[in-house]
């Protein structure tokens, strides 16, 4: 029964995240963990905690089976599940202490912090605080941060578990009720930052041709999609159907070859930048000798050309580089595709994007993080270019985020307000024969997301 309860708790925690997003279950999962491991010996509690981790993480990153591959999914899920087994080993010791829910919540938050950074830069997916996006608890992040909110959520779950173990009573029920009320206070009194200006940013998502999970399937098609989406936006700006952005943001890996040495890619970027007339932040892979590559965000100005750059600081182990390659160089499975290692950047200062209409300089301080898009319920619109997706997200401070769809003419559909969840329509071009990627390509992006 303990194992079944742990497995049920792991599956419930998975359901709190995308694609189901049943956020209240973020409290059910850890509570089941505490109930399943309470009162057991150290070895048995570790085994039950491991069962929880297996049920949670193998389902939480199930998408990896088809993106980077089944071998990476199995290896990463197993490694992350061990962390929950380690917490299970601690439960019999911590429950002997007074106020054990506090100590167990601190251990849980510490475990999340460790596995988010170790080994090889870690894997932060599945932190409790990630599940509260677009909920009334999200404003609390501004006050306590990711780790603090994970601690408070775990504490609330374990207080509920203690109330169940002690069969209720006002003394046991009052603490979780008070804590839940405190967590909702920031929703009423959110933390506000002083604003000294604003900018209109066009975030272009050009789509990945083919199966949609392999950027090397048609890497030149990826770049061309972003060029066409940006030139299409320029046409709509000129026609008055869309506002003039201050700069345009392309995502990571919009070029899989060096944009400085590849004439076709370089020409496409210049075409897009000249058309829109404002800087474009290009996410590209840049050569760094025969054995290394850099994942960079490059500010491409319509007047001065490429300028300021930011290099990704946390490449993904076994996704973008092979740790200790000199001692072990795998030549099998998807790991064989990683022919060059990605170097880590060292830059600390923000990326500067110049050339906006007001003469100000915008600071791009960190990458944009979005939760994976949920399936759209909107009807598909007829498109004059059905062979590609043409999504352009226009972000204007203080206004709802809207999507301008060039294929739909002047129709603009409001998606969500601040902090809202954006949904995309997806179109794929008919499959064509893929070309074998040259040596200059970096490995396909596995479970990295954005410039980190």
Residues 327 and 388 in one domain: yes
Same domain? 213 vs 156 = no
| Domain contains 427 | no
Strand partners, 417: none
Q: Count CB-CB contacts under 10 A for residue 383.
A: 16
pLDDT in the model for residue 451: 52
Strand 280-287 to 247-249 pairing: parallel
Token pair in block for residue 244: 């003039």
193 part of a folded domain: no
Give the phi and the psi of residue 438 in degrees, each rounded to 5. Answer: -70, 170
Q: Are the CB atoms for 133 and 116 separated by under 8 Å?
A: no
pLDDT given at position 169: 67
For residue 387, what is the domain's CATH number?
A: 3.60.110
pLDDT, averaged in runs of 10, over the chain (452 residues):
96 96 97 97 98 98 82 90 98 96 98 94 93 94 96 97 85 88 93 84 89 79 96 96 95 93 96 96 95 95 93 87 87 81 91 56 43 31 33 40 32 28 33 35 39 56
State the pairing for strand pair 201-205/247-249.
parallel
Q: Are 257 and 441 in contact, with CB atoms under 8 Å apart?
A: yes
Number of neighbours of residue 223 by Cβ within 10 angstroms = 26
Burial (Cβ within 10 Å: 0-12, 13-18, ≥19) of residue 212:
middle
Q: Are 58 and 320 in contact (CB under 8 A)?
A: no
pLDDT digits (tens, 9 = 90+) for 37-55: 999 999 999 999 999 999 9
Same domain, 47 and 132: yes
Q: Are residue 130 and residue 215 in the same domain, yes or no?
A: no
Tell me: do 120 and 58 sit in the same domain: yes
Sequence-distant (6+) residues with CB within 8 A of 59 are 10, 11, 14
Rg of the chain (C-alpha set): 24
DSSP string covering 236-261, please? HHHTTSSPPPSEEE--TTSBSS-TTT
Does one domain contain both 286 and 382? Answer: yes
Residues 351 and 239 in one domain: yes
Domain boundary residue among 188, 211, 243?
Answer: 188
The pLDDT tens digits of the residues spanning 56-101 come to: 999 999 988 876 778 889 989 999 999 999 999 999 999 999 999 9
- Residues 248/418, Cβ–Cβ less than 8 Å: no
Domain annotation covers residue 422 = no
Q: How many angstroms separate the Cα of 146 from the Cα of each of 131, 143, 169?
A: 11, 10, 32
Do 246 and 362 fall into the same domain? yes
Q: Which residues of 389-428 are buried (b: 16+ CB within 10 A; e: fewer)?
A: bbbbbbbeeeeebbbbbbbbeeeeeebeeeeeebbbbebe
Report if residue 134 sits inside a domain: yes
Same domain, 236 and 176: no
CB 316 within 8 A of CB 442: no
H/E/C letters for each residue in 304-365?
CEEEEEEECCCCCECCCECCCCCCCCCCCHHHHHCCCEECCCCCCCCEEECCCCCCCCEEEC
Write out the residue range of the structural domain in which residue 212 sits: 201-416
Q: Please state the pTM of the whole predicted model.
A: 0.73
Residues 211 and 164 in one domain: no
Overall residue count recorded for the chain in this entry: 452
One domain, residues 302 and 357: yes
Residues 210 and 144 both lie in one domain: no
Judged by DSSP in three states, 285 sits in strand
- Residue 421 maps to a domain: no
Overall number of domains in the chain: 2
Whether residue 33 contacts residue 2, with contact meaning beta carbons closer than 8 Å, is answered with no
Assigned domain for 436 exists:
no
Q: Which residues have a Cβ under 8 Å from the Cβ of 28 and sit 6 or more positions away?
A: 9, 12, 13, 16, 157
Q: Which of 143, 167, 188 is the last residue of a domain?
A: 188
Helix, strand, or coil here: 139?
Answer: helix
């Amino acid at each position: 029964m303990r194992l079944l309860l742990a497995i049920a708790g792991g599956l419930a925690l998975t359901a709190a995240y995308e694609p189901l997003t049943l956020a209240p279950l973020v409290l059910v999962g850890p509570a089941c963990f505490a109930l399943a491991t309470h009162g057991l010996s150290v070895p048995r509690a570790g085994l039950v905690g491991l069962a929880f981790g297996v049920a949670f993480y193998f389902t939480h990153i199930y998408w990896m089976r088809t993106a980077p591959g089944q071998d990476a999914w199995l290896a990463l899920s197993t490694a992350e599940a061990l962390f929950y087994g380690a917490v299970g080993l601690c439960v019999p010791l911590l429950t002997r202490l007074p106020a054990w829910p506090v100590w167990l919540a601190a251990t849980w938050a510490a475990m999340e912090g460790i596995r988010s950074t170790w080994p090889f830069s870690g894997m932060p997916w599945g932190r409790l605080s990630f599940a509260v996006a677009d909920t009334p608890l999200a404003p609390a992040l501004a006050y306590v941060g990711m780790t603090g909110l994970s601690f408070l959520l775990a504490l609330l779950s374990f207080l509920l578990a203690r109330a169940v173990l002690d069969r209720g009573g006002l003394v046991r029920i009052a603490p979780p009720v008070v804590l839940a009320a405190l967590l909702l206070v920031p929703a009423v009194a959110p933390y506000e930052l002083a604003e000294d200006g604003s900018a209109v940013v066009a975030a272009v998502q050009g789509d990945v041709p083919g199966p949609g999970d392999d950027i090397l399937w048609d890497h030149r098609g990826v770049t061309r999609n972003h060029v066409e989406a940006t030139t299409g936006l320029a046409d709509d700006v000129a026609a008055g159907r869309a506002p003039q952005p201050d700069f345009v943001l392309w995502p990571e890996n919009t070029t899989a070859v060096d944009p400085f040495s590849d004439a076709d890619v370089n020409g496409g970027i210049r075409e897009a930048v000249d058309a829109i007339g404002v800087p474009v932040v290009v996410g590209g892979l840049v050569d760094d000798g025969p054995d290394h590559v850099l994942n960079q965000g490059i500010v491409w100005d319509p007047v001065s050309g490429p300028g300021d750059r930011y290099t990704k600081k946390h490449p993904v182990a076994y996704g973008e580089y092979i740790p200790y390659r000199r001692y072990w160089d795998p030549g099998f499975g998807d790991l064989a595709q990683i022919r060059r290692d990605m170097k880590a950047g060292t830059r600390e200062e923000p990326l500067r994007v110049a050339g906006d209409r007001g003469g100000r300089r915008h600071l791009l301080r960190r990458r944009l993080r979005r939760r994976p898009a949920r399936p759209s319920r909107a009807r598909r619109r007829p498109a004059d270019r059905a062979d590609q997706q043409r999504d352009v997200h226009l972000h204007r401070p203080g206004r709802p985020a809207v999507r301008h769809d060039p294929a739909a003419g002047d129709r603009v559909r409001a998606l969500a307000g601040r902090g809202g969840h954006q949904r995309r329509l997806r179109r794929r071009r008919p499959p064509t024969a893929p070309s074998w990627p040259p040596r200059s390509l970096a490995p396909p992006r596995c479970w990295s997301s954005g410039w980190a």
